[in-house]
Amino acid sequence: MKIAVNTRFLIKNKLEGIGWFTYESLKRMVHQHPEDEFYFLFDRPFDNEFIFSPNVHPVVLYPPARHPWLWYLWFEWAVPRALKKIKPDLFLSPDGYCSLRASCRQIMVIHDLAFEHFGDHVDARTLTYYRRNTPRYARKADRIVTVSEFTRQDLIRLYQINPDKIDVAWNGSNELFHPLTETERAQSRKDFADGADYFVYAGAIQPRKNIINMLLAFEKFKQATHAPVRFVIAGRNWDYTEAMKVHASLSCRDDVIFRGHLSRHQLSRLLGGGFCLIYVSLFEGFGIPIVEAMNCDLPVITSSVSSMPEVAGNAALLCEPASVDDIAGAMIRIYRSESLRNELIQKGRERRKLFSWQFTAEKLWNSMMKAME
């Protein structure tokens, strides 16, 4: 069987949520199905680390697709032209797009419909493209995979997609994320927070992630407890100047540490040495750091909205992301109660058993086979 795959999110040292889904799923899939041929379609020169096995054939299609007009050219001209030459049995697109002009069977992964809920968080041209084309992609695809039941229900409710053609494949966590020894935890505290205990946030620094409310909640936490605890923020900054202005205004600004984008190894050490994960996004299609934290025996505070309660189950404190007081209150509770921290860690050990990239790859493959029926 020939399978063509949109791999434009496989960019060295720049993998984030969708990129990790693509990387972890495909890495397993191509090894577990050596009898099949995979054609990876890149939109720029690729790194050989993404050519996972001999049955992977890389193809570079131009132009690099990084804004609406180039998305259109890539998916509606470059991709159909390539598929016509390859003649695949199936085209897999794991980043929320597919090709309206391609004639082969297609399966697409939709991670979230955040733009339908927070349209003001993307620029006008991007929003217009998403709202015009995502419903068309969803109707065109032979099958759809979502990373949460929440996103599945969003598709059904907003676009009236047939529930029978949507499968759910939760995200997983890389094996690097595991509990650290006490010595290793102490070293992480030294490396990331000058030896202090620290709350940690891992993810992009952009409006939907609710960075400003987390900063304001940390300020309230410090005022209420005067605790020698710091707040380490790890992630790529999407030029979010408003958050930086809020940070500069905090009386505790010196206790907030921005670490930028970290490698998986660095991030696993950061989470493993942390005191608690603060992940109170306004909206998520899944929320991989929640699972990564559970795998590191790190207690979790997360949001009570969108997919996050589905992922966290009973193994996290849930709070209203729009309420600074609610977030700060959760931070105070978890700081003052060792028994609560231990309870959440134990529940996280059970909850994390439900999530693995192997499960993800298997469910994605099963959905692909349904699309072939």
Q: Band the pLDDT of 256: cuts 50, 70, 90.
A: very high
C-alpha torsion 95→212→315→313, nearest 10: -50
Phi/psi region, residue 83 (left: phi>0; alpha: psi -120 to 50; beta: rest), is: alpha
Bridge partner list, 214 = none
DSSP state of 144: E
pLDDT at position 324 is 98
230 touches 196 (CB < 8 A) = yes
Where, residue-wise, is CATH 3.40.50.2000 in the chain?
2-172+357-372, 182-354
Tell me the average pLDDT across 142-162.
Answer: 98
Element (H, E) at 131: helix 124-140
| Residues 209-253 pLDDT 10s | 999 999 999 999 999 999 999 999 999 998 899 999 999 999 999
Query: Alpha-carbon distance 334 to 229, whole Å?
Result: 12
Strands 317-319 and 90-93: unpaired
The token pair at 90 is 């199936």
* E-assigned strand segments in the chain: 2-6, 37-42, 56-60, 90-93, 106-110, 143-146, 166-168, 197-202, 229-234, 256-260, 276-279, 300-303, 317-319
pLDDT surpassing 90 at residue 336: yes
Q: Band the pLDDT of 14: cuts 50, 70, 90.
A: confident
Q: Band the pLDDT of 66: cuts 50, 70, 90.
A: confident
Nearest to 164 by CA among 155, 176, 175, 174: 155
pLDDT at position 207 is 95
| Residues 124-135 pLDDT 10s | 999 999 999 999
pLDDT surpassing 90 at residue 86: yes
pLDDT, the chain, mean:
97
pLDDT surpassing 90 at residue 9: yes
pLDDT at position 270 is 98
Cα angle for residues 225, 301, 227 (degrees, 5° grid): 15
pLDDT surpassing 90 at residue 290: yes
Nearest to 177 by CA among 355, 306, 312: 355
Nearest to 96 by CA among 61, 156, 137: 137
Q: How many residues does the chain have?
A: 373
| Residues 87-115 pLDDT 10s | 999 999 999 999 999 999 999 999 999 99
Q: Could you tell me where the DSSP H helices lie in 229-337? A: 241-249, 264-272, 288-295, 308-312, 324-336
State the fold for domain 2-172+357-372. Answer: Rossmann fold (3.40.50)
pLDDT at position 192 is 98
21 touches 42 (CB < 8 A) = no
Bridge partner list, 30 = none
pLDDT at position 16 is 86
Radius of gyration of the chain (CA): 21
pLDDT at position 161 is 98
288 touches 341 (CB < 8 A) = no
- CA–CA distances in Å: residue 243 to residues 199, 209, 283, 324: 18, 11, 17, 14
| Residues 155-177 pLDDT 10s | 999 999 999 999 999 999 999 99
Terminal-residue alpha carbon distance, the chain: 13
SS3 content of the chain, % helix, strand, coil (to 5): 50, 15, 35
The token pair at 313 is 């189950």
Q: pTM to 2 decimals?
A: 0.95
364 touches 169 (CB < 8 A) = yes
pLDDT surpassing 90 at residue 305: yes
Nearest to 39 by CA among 280, 28, 50: 50
Contacts of 25 (CB under 8 A, 6+ apart): 94, 357, 360, 361, 364
Q: Which CATH superfamily is domain 182-354 in?
A: Glycogen Phosphorylase B; (3.40.50.2000)
In the sheet that 2-6 helps form, which strands lie side by side, from edge to edge? 56-60, 37-42, 2-6, 90-93, 106-110, 143-146, 166-168
Tell me the average pLDDT across 262-284.
Answer: 97
Tell me the average pLDDT across 60-82.
Answer: 96
pLDDT at position 60 is 98
